[in-house]
Structure 1
Amino acid sequence: MKRLLAIAVLSVFAGQIAAKAGDAKVYPNGPRDLIGSYGNSPAQCQSYHRNSDNITSISATSYEFCGGSMCGATIVSHQKLKEGYILNLRSPGNRSVWRAKVKLLDKGAIEITYLARHDPPKTLARCTKADANAGIGLRPNEDPTANNSLSPVFAAYYALAVPGKCAGVEANTQAAETIIATGRSSWTEFLRKGPNAQHATPEGIAQDIALEKGDAEYAVRADAAEIPAFCSEVLNVFGEGGRVQPGLLKDPRGKT
């Protein structure tokens, strides 16, 4: 009888420990709760869907924390904790499984701690649709201290590409081309006065402008796919009184 009582007491005690620690069972891949993109700040989250630098992305099977080929891991399995999860990870070229503890915080934030390492915990905020909207017409994570002569060029090419995704929306081609020409001149002048003057050739400048065009056209496609009300939101950026380059787009129904 005493033996049975002792077993019962131990069972209750073990159950309390398990409840405190979480579910000790190991589940394949990663938990649905964590699927999403995360950044250190709203500025980092801006245009998260077309930005890999400084963005942590978690899917059902992968954990990515930068844009490099070695900046990610496969989520082999996970365990449920009372306050979050343990992710069991395997990186390219590393057969050993390493672990990360992910604590769920308020307002969609998470805290990541790499176990068996001495790095301090890292707190990240979940990126939202509002962050995607905030990046319309802009390069992601643009350095405010850098020369931004090409930023208006990117924005102008972005606006020119919008009608291809938003039927009936009209672009002010003449105004966009003026912005592109001005940006080209400013960028050329910047290069000529700096340490990279040898790159200020017609061919080099043309290549830089072409890269902005390609990046802007990709951004429009990515934003249109990510943002449900893209064709309405983009008018708040490039329409009359828009926050980036006003007057570059017009809604044929009279809404600008």
Structure 2
Amino acid sequence: MKRAIVLLGLAAVASSPAFGDAGVPSELLGHFGNSPVQCRSFHRKADNITHISKEYYTFCGGSRCEARIDRVRKTKSGYTLKLQGDSGPFDIRLTKVEEGVFDAGDQTLVKCTERDQIAGIGLPVTLEMSITKAPHAAFSAYYALSVPEVCRDIKVDEALAESIAKAGILEYVRFLLDRKLIKQTVDDAITTKAHNEREDARYAVKQDAEAIPAFCDHVLDAFGENGRIFKDILSDNSQKI
């Protein structure tokens, strides 16, 4: 009798999907957004992006924004994901609309691609959520200043980049002053904001360089001779003597 119970237990374990092996199909693996803007620089985002791995379904950057994938069931119209969250089990039904596009009921999920990563080069991930665009110029200029750290053949016009960054920071502090949102001296506000934007941009460059193939070529499209963000801040010295 005891042996029979043990065998039944082993059979139950064998029939249950192993952790991290819930049968997630390849077309569901990856990052998803609601739009190209949301997908932009998805590898640098925690919020406003959905990430599906072989183990987890993650829908924001908070501590309660992740659920373990226990099982995936194929349906006539798509898939049903059996999930285990902090508050218990629940399902996510994904209806396939077309290749890389799924209807999740309350939103449409579009798989993000390398093109979306490239589109975010030089831009902050908070671009579409900011109430003022003033600091974005500073971020982009500091981003350009950090590029030579990962692209040895690229030269930056430091004077031009620093002047753009300074103008962006001053405009942002002026915005805070006009709305009486500043709680420190003007000089301290300028120093703090400049430091934060510089560090954020420097880290973004490293993330982009690691995630995007041929990053050093793509970054010139953002800051080179015909740069879509700023022109002539970066130049390629690889062919110059």
TM-score (norm 2): 0.85
* Residue in structure 2 matched with residue 87 of structure 1 by the alignment: 81
Number of residue equivalences = 222
CA distance in 2, matches of 1:144, 1:74: 29
* Residue in structure 2 matched with residue 105 of structure 1 by the alignment: 97
2:133 equivalent to 1:148: yes
Q: How does 1:19-38 map to 2 (within 5 A)?
A: 27=17, 28-29=21-22, 30-38=24-32
- Name the amino acid aligned to 1:71: C
Superimposed CA distance per residue, residues 68-120 of structure 1 (whole angstroms, 9 cap, x where no aligned partner) = 1111211122222233222111113x2x321111222213101224xxxxxxx
Unmatched segments (≥5 aa) in structure 2: 1-14
- Aligned-residue sequence identity (percent) comes to 37
Q: How does 1:2-21 map to 2 (within 5 A)?
A: none
2:131 equivalent to 1:139: no
CA distance in 2, matches of 1:244, 1:175: 13
CA distance in 1, matches of 2:180, 2:132: 13
Deviation at 1:200, TM superposition (A): 5.0
Which of these residues, 42, 49, 53, is aligned with residue 47 of structure 2? 53
* Residue in structure 2 matched with residue 246 of structure 1 by the alignment: 231
Distance change (3 Å), C-alpha of 1:73 and 1:222: same
Q: How does 1:200-219 map to 2 (within 5 A)?
A: 201-219=186-204
CA distance in 1, matches of 2:192, 2:33: 31
Which of these residues, 65, 69, 85, is aligned with residue 71 of structure 1? 65
Does structure 1 retain, via aligned residues, the 8 Å contact 2:222–2:230? yes
The structure whose Rg is larger is 1
CA distance in 2, matches of 1:197, 1:221: 31
Distance change (3 Å), C-alpha of 1:145 and 1:168: closer
* Residue in structure 1 matched with residue 182 of structure 2 by the alignment: 197
Q: State the Cα RMSD in Å.
A: 2.0
- Name the amino acid aligned to 1:68: G
* Residue in structure 2 matched with residue 11 of structure 1 by the alignment: none
- Residue 124 of structure 2 aligns to a residue whose secondary structure is coil
CA distance in 2, matches of 1:50, 1:252: 28
- Residue 146 of structure 1 aligns to a residue whose secondary structure is coil
Distance change (3 Å), C-alpha of 1:98 and 1:247: same
Superimposed CA distance per residue, residues 109-153 of structure 1 (whole angstroms, 9 cap, x where no aligned partner) = 01224xxxxxxx421111111111111000124137722111111
